[in-house]
């Protein structure tokens, strides 16, 4: 994943901002990671340092890595964030994965005693601080080393998120977003005038703990729902100008939502900015999140239905094509049934792709019933064709016309039955 330059860090903040890199290379004996020994602190750490005024996190990470290791590196994926207290002051450190472009001697010899390449497992064991051990073990996918209670650093936000396999993209995305939100929550809690013991902060931390549990059980969908709930609680920690900016963004998003939720969001946020309350913004965010969840659910249902239709078509072709090779009357019956079913499947796919998959009839069997009966309607089309041939006294029936009528009959049968199902469902509603 390509990274983008983060906004420059403001200087007037009560939180210490820092950035670093996880430098990794592949050798014949396995992956190796570079770690550094700091003379003043007498510890082994990942290369990192404070963000300077007007400098982005990524720029600081590249600069600090070059100073502490002598390596000129290329920036890779964002790997995670650590947060802890440094002499009573909250500190956050963002890490990026890096690859070496050019390697030379260490520039900052006063601070750094040595910078060494080590096998990934050995580097995890050599690191002094527990949070860096956990981060590195997740990134390089080695067995986690139990942290020593003597080296453990007091967390500021909540317990660390569990390690997840890097090949699981959905879990990795949830972990990155949760880490990023943890930093945002930390900023809101630590800025002047903020009450860290307030109800919204406690509720947000509780939801983040639920995210951690969902990660452990690999419930990605539940984890995103908990993360969205945690993000909504932070509305109570925004000042007036931030609340107005959030409301403006939500109004713009509401214009792009075609369902009733968009109108409800607009109604909630239609008050003047000086009368805007956090409760209204939070309700609007909840409606937006519900809309996203609903759209995701519909997309998943459509995908399931399309796969079912594809399987049905494949089974029908395999089962009915052998009969088409016969010379008896069963040949036309099988072909008519097959083309009627194909027409019904074509109509169902068109129905789904147009977004007509009504959520009230999401059951796959209810969806398949009009398709199967539409296939039977193809037989009716064949009967109509034969009657027409007899009535017009045609001596040479056209096979293409017969199958085309069966196909159209299947399409019409499926469409009529699907509309009837939706109408009956709405009447019961």
User: What is the DSSP track for 329-387?
Assistant: THHHHHHHHHHHHHHHHHHHHHHHHTT---GGG--HHHHHHHHHHHHHHHHHHHHHHHH
Final residue belonging to a domain, choices 138, 155, 172? 155
- pLDDT for 65: 92
> What pLDDT score was predicted for residue 147?
43
Q: What is the pLDDT of residue 166?
A: 42
Share of the chain residues as helix, strand and coil, in percent rounded to the nearest 5: 60, 15, 25
pLDDT in tens, 216-237: 888 888 888 899 999 898 888 8
* Count of domains observed in the chain: 2
Buried/exposed 195-219: b ≥16 CB within 10 Å, e otherwise: eeeeebbebbbebbebbbebbeeeb
Residue 188 lies in a domain: no
pLDDT at site 395: 64
Q: Label residue 19 by pLDDT band (50, 70, 90).
A: very high
* pLDDT of res. 36: 93
Q: Whole domain around residue 74: which residue ranges?
A: 1-155
In a domain, 415, yes or no: yes
More confident residue, 407 or 87: 407
Write the Ramachandran bin of 80: left for phi over 0, alpha for psi from -120 to 50, otherwise beta.
Answer: left
User: What is the rounded CA–CA span in Å between residue 320 and residue 310?
Assistant: 15
Find which of 73-77, 102-106, 360-364 is predicted with most confidence, using mean pLDDT.
73-77
Whether the CB-CB separation of 68 and 90 falls below 8 Å is answered with: no
The predicted pLDDT at position 363 comes to 62
Which one is predicted more confidently, 372 or 265?
A: 265
User: Domain boundary at 132, 155, 178, which?
Assistant: 155
| Count of Cβ atoms closer than 10 Å to residue 33 Cβ | 24
394-407 tens-digit pLDDT: 666 676 777 788 88
> What backbone phi and psi angles, to 5 degrees, belong to 158?
-165, 180
Tell me the two tokens of residue 384. Answer: 């109509």
Which among 155, 175, 191 is the end of a domain? 155
- CA 11 – CA 54 distance, rounded (Å): 8
The per-residue pLDDT for 194 is 65
For 326-335, what is the mean pLDDT?
73
pLDDT at 321 over 80: no
List the CATH number of the domain containing 6: 3.90.79.10
Do the strands 71-86 and 43-45 form a parallel or antiparallel pair, or are they unpaired?
unpaired
Predicted pLDDT of residue 168: 67
Residues 137-143: contacts with CB under 8 Å, at least 24 apart: 137/163, 138/80, 138/163, 138/164, 138/166, 139/22, 139/24, 139/79, 139/80, 139/97, 139/166, 140/22, 140/24, 140/31, 140/33, 141/165, 141/166
pLDDT one-digit tens code per residue, 366-385: 667 777 777 777 777 777 77
Phi, psi of 212 (to 5 degrees): -60, -40
Tell me the H-state helices in 141-239: 169-190, 199-216, 220-233
Residue 394 pLDDT: 67
* 357 vs 274, higher pLDDT: 274
Residue 279 lies in a domain: no
Residue labelled with tokens 């792709």: 353
Q: Indicate the range of 108-122, 162-176, 290-304, 315-329 predicted with least confidence.
A: 162-176
Q: What is the pLDDT of residue 328?
A: 67
Which of 242, 252, 254, 246 has the alpha carbon at shortest distance from 287?
254
50 CB neighbour count, 10 Å cutoff: 15
**In the prediction, which pLDDT does 307 show?**
83
Q: Report pLDDT for 150.
A: 37
**Is residue 191 situated within a structural domain?**
no
Decide: 410 and 377 in contact? Cβ < 8 Å: yes
User: 186 lies in a domain?
Assistant: no
Residue 16 lies in a domain: yes
pLDDT in tens, 28-71: 877 899 999 998 888 999 999 999 988 888 999 999 999 999 99
Tokens representing 148?
């020593």
Q: Is the per-residue pLDDT at 282 higher than 60?
A: yes
pLDDT in tens, 126-169: 898 877 887 887 776 544 444 443 344 434 334 455 554 544 67
- Check residue 7 and give its pLDDT: 46
At 384 the pLDDT is 76
Assess if residue 13 is contained within a domain.
yes
| pLDDT interval class at 86 (50, 70, 90) | confident
CB atoms within 10 A of CB 270: 9
Pairing type for strands 48-50 and 30-38 reads unpaired
Nearest-angstrom CA–CA distance, 200 and 236: 6
Token couple for 110: 């006063």
Size (the chain), residues = 429
The answer to whether residue 190 is domain-embedded is no
């Amino acid at each position: 994943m390509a990274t983008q330059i983060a906004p420059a860090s403001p200087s007037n903040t009560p939180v210490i901002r820092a950035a670093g890199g996880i430098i990794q290379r592949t050798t014949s004996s396995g992956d190796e990671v570079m770690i550094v020994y700091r003379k003043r602190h007498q510890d082994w750490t990942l290369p990192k340092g404070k963000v300077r005024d007007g400098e982005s996190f990524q720029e600081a990470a590249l600069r600090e890595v070059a100073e502490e290791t002598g390596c000129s590196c290329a920036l890779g994926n964002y790997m995670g964030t650590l947060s802890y207290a440094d002499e009573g002051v909250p500190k956050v450190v963002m890490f990026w994965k890096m690859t070496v472009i050019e390697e030379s001697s260490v520039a900052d010899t006063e601070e750094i005693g040595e910078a060494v390449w080590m096998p990934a497992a050995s580097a995890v064991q050599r690191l002094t601080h527990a949070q860096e051990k956990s981060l590195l073990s997740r990134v390089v996918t080695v067995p986690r080393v139990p942290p020593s209670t003597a080296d453990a650093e007091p967390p500021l936000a909540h317990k660390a998120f569990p390690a997840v396999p890097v090949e699981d993209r959905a879990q990795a995305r949830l972990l990155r977003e949760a880490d990023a939100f943890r930093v945002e929550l930390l900023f809101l809690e630590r800025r002047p005038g903020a009450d860290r013991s307030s109800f919204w902060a406690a509720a947000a931390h509780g939801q983040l703990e639920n995210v951690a549990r969902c990660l452990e059980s690999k419930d990605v969908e539940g984890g995103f729902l908990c993360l969205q709930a945690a993000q909504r609680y932070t509305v109570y920690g925004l000042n007036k100008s931030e609340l107005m900016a959030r409301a403006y963004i939500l109004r713009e998003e509401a214009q792009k939502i075609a369902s009733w939720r968009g109108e409800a969001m607009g109604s909630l946020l239609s008050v003047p900015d000086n009368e805007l309350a956090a409760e209204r913004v939070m309700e609007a965010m909840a409606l937006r999140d519900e809309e996203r969840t609903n759209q995701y659910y519909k997309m998943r249902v459509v995908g399931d239905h399309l796969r079912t239709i594809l399987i049905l078509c494949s089974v029908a072709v395999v089962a009915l094509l052998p009969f088409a090779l016969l010379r008896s009357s069963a040949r036309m019956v099988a072909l008519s049934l097959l083309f009627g079913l194909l027409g019904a499947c074509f109509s169902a796919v068109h129905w789904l792709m147009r977004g007509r998959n009504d959520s009230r009839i999401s059951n796959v069997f209810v969806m398949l019933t009009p398709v199967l009966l539409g296939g039977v309607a193809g037989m009716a089309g064949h009967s109509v064709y034969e009657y027409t041939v007899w009535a017009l006294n045609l001596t040479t029936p056209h096979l293409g016309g017969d199958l085309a009528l069966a196909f159209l009959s299947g399409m019409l049968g499926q469409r009529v039955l699907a509309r009837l199902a939706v109408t009956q469902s709405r009447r019961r509603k």
